[in-house]
Structure 1
Amino acid sequence: MRWFGFGFNAFGQIYVGGRVNDDDTANEVKVITPIELKGHVDGSCRTKISGLGASWSRRATLHSNDRIESWDLDNDRKTPVWSMEVKTPSDGTGTPPNLPLIPDGYIALKPPFYRPLSPHLKATRLALGAEHSVLLSASGTVYTWGLGSHGQLGHGGLLHEEQPRVVEALWGMTMSCVAAGGWHTVCVSDAGDMYVWGWNESGQLGLPSHIARKTEHHPTSQEIADLSSYKEKPEGEKDKEVFISIQAFPALLDVTPSCDIKMVGCGSRHTAAVTSAGDLYTWGWGQYGQLGYETPYSDEPRRVEFFREQQMRVVDVTCGTWNTFA
């Protein structure tokens, strides 16, 4: 499987040549055209990669079928900080491996704070946002909990939940995939339908966004950099179009009428979806190129043409805070 990355690259998340100093904000790097990730993984094991984790800045972890690696992206070394082989007994028993200490921290199989969930949940997927959690059960039911200040829990309000609570609006529909952004949530049903809820400030839900529509009028670079420069129109001159800042209930989003959605990923304020035809669609905040095309904001899903032009079929997607990997 070949992986490509695009978006925020100031710390070398996508390729090391783009790294700059922390205090050199004037030279922040953005990657708009997808770049293949092949500097840290040799061709012999690339097809074995089963997951890719995107960290905020300098740290990345790679999980393959038989190996775990940790990479320090603030370092020019061509080898991981540490790596180890993982052998899982065929019967699922045995002592878990002791993972070594790494600079500035450690990796452990057991979380530092353990609190069991109700046995009836039987979780198959767990997605974590900035302040909320999303769980997909074996029966295809979605549960959410945590802070709900931006409607990201999907319960119709802005209150927080201390315990997993079923998203009642989706009750009776079997879901196959869930993803959590900074303050928004997306899930995909077995039928290929996609539901979105939470914060829509940058159009990350694919619903009409005030700030995204403003940028269609070609704002100056200063306006893009400083959101506070946008001023409200005088009373009577305001647009009649309805904009959605918070969607507290799940809303059905039709990305493309001809294809179902198979996989979805969420960044801090952007969303990416893979269709059954192998196309990648993105929308939301694109200031650093994380949408795969040139635009600061988009509240409408747009296809990333790079993969279609290269005659490649996208099968999976995962998002970092400000970047995307497909």
Structure 2
Amino acid sequence: MSWFGFGFNAFGQICVQEKSVQEETSDAVGEVKVSVPVELRSHVDHSCCLKTCQIRASWSRRACLHESRCVWLAGFSASSISNDTRGCRDAIISESHLTLAFPDRIESWDVQRKDKTPLWSMEIIPQSESSGVNLPLVPGGYIASKPPIFRSLAPHLQAKSLALGGDHVILLTAPGAVYSWGLGSHGQLGHGGLVSEEEPRTVEALWGVPMSSVAAGGWHSVCISEGGDLYVWGWNESGQLGLPSRGLQKAPQQKKAQPTELSDVSTPEEEPHDGDKHEEVFISIQAFPALLDVNPSSDFQRASCGSRHTAAVTTSGCLFTWGWGEYGQLGHQTFNSLDEPRRVEFFKAKDLHVVDVVCGPWNTFTAAVKKGVLDLKNT
């Protein structure tokens, strides 16, 4: 399995600037914007296995969890973080702290200081080899993206997985119900209004439809049903819900109105005749979960949200992305934004089957395997 990255790379989260490469280079290495998926290269010490099994991302950093049970960081001030990660089973990274899950404990470290002791720690009952903590969930609660690091959760919620948004939380229960709480100013909680919630509240519009996974972005949310359907809600300013966005429709119109090199006079667009007029529907906020149609029709198994973009993997191994694309985080070899899901053709062209996706705020990381290798594993 290989991991690829694309999007925001100002701190070397995707690919590190080589000394022999000039700042003016047009190659992906060293560029702030990477629009083509680039296979990640590890610079971890060779005493540690280099095969990455999981990636977590924040705005300026990337954390790689290796099969040898150690964590390596890339990005801003990554070299200054030297705490021992051997034996780590899971990790999450934010702009303020790195949290590590070991078989017998949870530790959270301040990434901006060279502390010799964790900022917060908690002992847990040792787990078996086949089980473990599923961060940001921990026994009795979850790890927040800002202090207080530990937040408690009521046992009756039967939490299965949890996704942290900019200022909101989406929780999936064992029976497949979805709860949300936190900031609700852009409809990201899915309750039909713009009101914030201090305590977990059921997303009633999804009641009776068991969900298999949840994801949260800056001000939007996504979940996938057990049947592979994709539901979206929240802010759609950059098309991150895959629904018609007025902001994205204005951009091409403004470009069309600009003078060309052949003429310094721009002609106004023709007004449609009365019989041709129709009202276009744009969605800035979707306060209730909406079923997202994707062309071609697909069943989804994984999804992840950035600050203002979304990525999802189908059961057939295709990657679809949409939303804000200014840093190339959609992987379509452009810096355009999209308000409808589009398949990333890079992986199909390389005969790669996508198996996982993780979005940072402004970038995207994807795991893929050769289709021939996958076929052998399935036989």
Give the TM-score category using the shorter length: 0.7 to 0.9
Deviations 1:100-128, CA, capped at 9 Å, x for gaps: 77652665444555442111112111111
Is the deviation greater in 165-174 or in 238-247?
238-247
* Unmatched runs of 5 consecutive residues or more in structure 1: 22-26, 223-232
> Which deviations, in whole Å up to 9, do the C-alpha atoms of 1:163-201 show, x marking residues without a partner?
000100000111111100100000000100000000000
* Distance in 2, Cα, partners of 1:244 & 1:43: 52
1:188-207 equivalent positions in 2, closer than 5 A: 188-207=224-243
State the structure with more CA Rg. 2
Evaluate the alpha carbon distance shift between residue 192 and residue 83 of structure 1 in structure 2; reply closer, same or farther with a 3 A threshold.
Answer: same
8 Å CA contact 1:70, 1:82 repeated in 2: no
Secondary structure of the structure 2 residue equivalent to 1:16: coil
Map 1:180-191; keep pairs closer than 5 Å. Answer: 180-191=216-227
Partner letter of residue 192 of structure 1?
G
Q: Indicate which of 64, 74, 83 corresponds to 1:62.
A: 64
Q: Read off the aligned partner of 1:252 and give its amino acid letter.
A: L
Normalising by structure 1, report the TM-score.
0.82
Which of 26, 51, 55 lines up with 1:52 in the alignment?
55
Give the alignment partner of residue 317 of structure 1, picking from 357, 370, 377: 357
**Equivalent in the alignment of 2:346:** 306
After TM superposition, give the deviation of residue 259 of structure 1 in Å.
2.3
**Which amino acid letter does the alignment assign opposite residue 153 of structure 2?**
L
Contact 1:86 1:97 in 2 (8 A): no
2:337 to 297, 301, 309: 297
Change (3 A) 1:95 1:318: closer
DSSP-derived class of the 2:62 partner: strand
- State how far apart, in whole Å, the 2-side matches of 1:265 and 1:20 are: 34
**What do the CA deviations read for 1:62-87 (whole angstroms, capped 9, x no partner)?**
2245523242524696x973443217
The aligned counterpart of 1:104 is: 113
> In percent, how many aligned pairs have the same letter?
54
- Please say if 1:179 is aligned against 2:218: no
One-letter identity of the residue aligned with 1:183 = W
Helix, strand or coil: the match of 1:84? coil
Matched-pair contact (CA < 8 Å) for 1:153–1:198: yes
Q: Which runs of 4+ in 1 moved over 6 A?
A: 18-21, 97-101, 236-239
Structure 2 unmatched ranges of 5 or more: 24-29, 90-101, 123-142, 259-268, 367-379
Residue 311 to residue 243, structure 1, CA distance change in 2 (3 Å):
same
2:352 alignment partner, SS class: coil
Cα distance in structure 2, aligned partners of 1:199 and 1:217: 22
Choose which of 286, 295, 313 in structure 2 pairs with 1:247.
286
Asked if structure 1 preserves the Cα contact closer than 8 Å seen for 2:88 and 2:103, the reply is: no
Compare relative contact order (CA 8 Å, sep 6+) and give the higher one, 1 or 2: 1
Number of matched residues? 303
1:28 CA displacement: 7.1
Aligned residue for 1:84?
Answer: 85
Q: Deviations over 1:268-319 (max 9, x none)?
A: 0000011111111100000000001214211011111100000001010000
Match of 1:274 among 313, 316, 323: 313
Q: Are 1:264 and 1:317, in contact at CA under 8 Å, matched by a contact in 2?
A: yes
- When the two structures are superposed, what TM-score results if normalisation uses the length of structure 2? 0.71
Structural RMSD (CA): 3.4
Does residue 131 (structure 1) correspond to residue 131 (structure 2)? The answer is no
Superposed, 1:221-240 pairs within 5 Å as 240=279
Q: How many Å separate the matches in 2 of 1:80 and 1:20?
A: 27
Deviation string 1:44-63 (CA, Å, 9 cap, x unpaired) is 8344x332111211x33222
190, 213, 219: which one pairs with 2:255? 219
